[in-house]
Amino acid sequence: MAAGFAPPKLKDFILTEKLGSGTYATVYKAFRKTDSREAVAVKVVSKKSLNKSSMENLLTEIEILKTVRHPHIVQLKDFQWDSDNIYLILEWCSGGDLSRFIRSCQILPESVARRCLQQIACALQFLHEKNISHLDLKPQNILLSGNVLKLADFGFAQYMSPWDEQQALRGSPLYMAPEMVCRRHYDARVDLWSVGVILYEALFGRAPFASRSFAELEEKIRSEKPIELPPGARVSRDCRDLLLRLLERDPESRITFDEFFLHPFVDLEHMPSAESLGKAKALVLQAVQKDQDGERSAALSLYCSALEHFVPAIHYETDRQRKEALRQKVNQYVSRAEELKALVRSDNKITFEKAKSTRNILIEMSRDQPRLLTALEVASTAVAQEESGAEDYDTLDLYQQSLGELLLALAGKCSFVFCKHRCTFYI
């Protein structure tokens, strides 16, 4: 490396290759001068390049990163300064950024895009609870450490309550919410728009407002035309619903944070995490106990719930041997769940057959009681519809009609018995 381009000297660290540079900062890979030789990323900010605004951004970034600790947010390990520079010592993420990952794949399968989204949502939920908005979410600011995503670059982030409004233009135009580009008041909901753009790009290989020039980009963003998915887009119903609700131009109509965190496509409850395996084990123990007790339906339900956590646990596991052992266990539970499913179906069929036989006997016994006979025949029709898989208002109406006829038949029987007793009394 030429002397003029050599990285700066920093106490306790050896700075090596340059990873990237921006308007006022350059990022290097570095190692601690200790036996551990821990790898870190060092963000070097030249004091000469800082104006008032960029200094405020840097101080905000340091303040926020000092206070937050989360598995999906890049950790600030330390910061130092000398006469020329300010140094942020950050967690090392070896996988590059999400932008490079998307480009290398061209488009991500929906299942992979969903796992990426879950991790971003998990970090945003943590920030939202602390009233922190990132304001510059884009694939370049989302780093990969193995299969874990981490939000980075909090230079534009702000402590922002839901009712706070800003006017300063922040972030990258391609991922910027329309209210920011149009210089209107905006709030924390701009982060949700950016998430929508990131998800769109991950699924379709380009941002919804991909343009050849800034003027063309600005025109598309300022347009009132609703966002549409590419022709022939093959995504699930939940994914489509979330995309269109995130990419709602009007922030008042856009999905809220609470709705976003609870959305079925995000499904934070079942995202791969350190807790996935513990949740799965707890449920499968209950399933095995119910299975041993002969409670087949309850056991089947618990096995299915356990599998919803076992699959994320496999995705989260990084050790190959443990991952393979988990897969084998899961295959065993899947096999047992399939066996139970067949047994439960058989049990239900026997129950229906017994009920059907009982209904036929009752119908024969009620031939001389027209109202009771009508009630039983209507009930039989309702049961037949339900057995065929029909779950609509017609089936419910038939059950209600049957109950109505039974009540009338019962009322008639009671009147007859009452009159009979009165006659006996007078005799």
CA quadruple 216, 219, 221, 226: dihedral sign: negative
417 and 351 both lie in a single domain:
no
Confidence of residue 200 (pLDDT cuts 50, 70, 90): very high
Confidence of residue 139 (pLDDT cuts 50, 70, 90): very high
Confidence of residue 163 (pLDDT cuts 50, 70, 90): very low
137 and 148 both lie in a single domain:
yes
Where among 242, 270, 298 does a domain terminate?
A: 270
71 and 194 both lie in a single domain:
no
Q: Decide if pLDDT at 160 tops 80.
A: no
Check which CATH number belongs to the domain holding 378 and give it: 1.20.58
Check which CATH number belongs to the domain holding 45 and give it: 3.30.200.20
pLDDT average, residue stretch 134-139? 90
239 and 352 both lie in a single domain:
no
Residue with the larger pLDDT of the pair 238 and 406: 238
Q: Decide if pLDDT at 205 tops 80.
A: yes
Q: What does each C-alpha distance from 56 to 52, 156, 194, 394 come to in angstroms?
A: 6, 9, 23, 65
Query: Are 56 and 38 in contact, with CB atoms under 8 Å apart?
Result: no
**R_g over Cα of the chain:** 32
244 and 142 both lie in a single domain:
yes
Q: Which residues are annotated as a binding site?
A: 43
pLDDT average, residue stretch 206-231? 83
109 and 198 both lie in a single domain:
yes
What is the per-residue pLDDT across 78-129, written as a single tens digit (0 to 9) for each? 888 888 888 999 999 999 999 999 999 999 999 999 999 999 999 999 999 9
Confidence of residue 260 (pLDDT cuts 50, 70, 90): very high
35 and 84 both lie in a single domain:
yes
57 and 163 both lie in a single domain:
no
- pTM (2 d.p.): 0.74
372 and 345 both lie in a single domain:
no
Confidence of residue 358 (pLDDT cuts 50, 70, 90): low
Based on the structure, what is the number of domains in the chain? 4
Annotate 167-180 with b (16+ C-beta within 10 A) or e (fewer): eeebbeebbbbbbb
Confidence of residue 183 (pLDDT cuts 50, 70, 90): low
What is the per-residue pLDDT across 403-412, written as a single tens digit (0 to 9) for each? 776 677 666 5
Mean pLDDT of the residues in the chain: 82
Where among 336, 357, 378 does a domain terminate?
A: 357
Query: Are 133 and 82 in contact, with CB atoms under 8 Å apart?
Result: no
Determine the pLDDT at residue 161: 45
Residue with the larger pLDDT of the pair 404 and 46: 46
**Is 187 designated active site?**
no
Where among 91, 106, 127 does a domain terminate?
A: 91
What is the per-residue pLDDT across 329-346, written as a single tens digit (0 to 9) for each? 889 998 888 888 888 877
Residue with the larger pLDDT of the pair 356 and 417: 356
How many C-beta atoms surround the C-beta of residue 83 within 10 A?
5
151 and 230 both lie in a single domain:
yes
Of the candidates 84, 40, 87, 37, which has an alpha carbon nearest to the alpha carbon of residue 61? 87
What is the per-residue pLDDT across 361-390, written as a single tens digit (0 to 9) for each? 555 556 667 766 676 677 777 777 766 665
The single residue of 82, 97, 136, 164 carrying the catalytic annotation is 136
Q: What does each C-alpha distance from 399 to 86, 371, 372, 403 come to in angstroms?
A: 75, 15, 14, 6
- Contacts of residue 84, Cβ cutoff 8 Å, sequence gap at least 6: 8, 46, 47, 48
152 and 266 both lie in a single domain:
yes
Q: Decide if pLDDT at 169 tops 60.
A: no
Rounded Cα distance, 405 and 382, in Å:
14
Q: Print the domain residue range for 262.
A: 98-270
Check which CATH number belongs to the domain holding 332 and give it: 1.20.58.80
Q: Which residues are annotated as a binding site for ATP?
A: 43
Confidence of residue 421 (pLDDT cuts 50, 70, 90): very low
Percent of the chain with pLDDT over 70: 80
The residue assigned the tokens 């660290």 is 13
241 and 166 both lie in a single domain:
yes
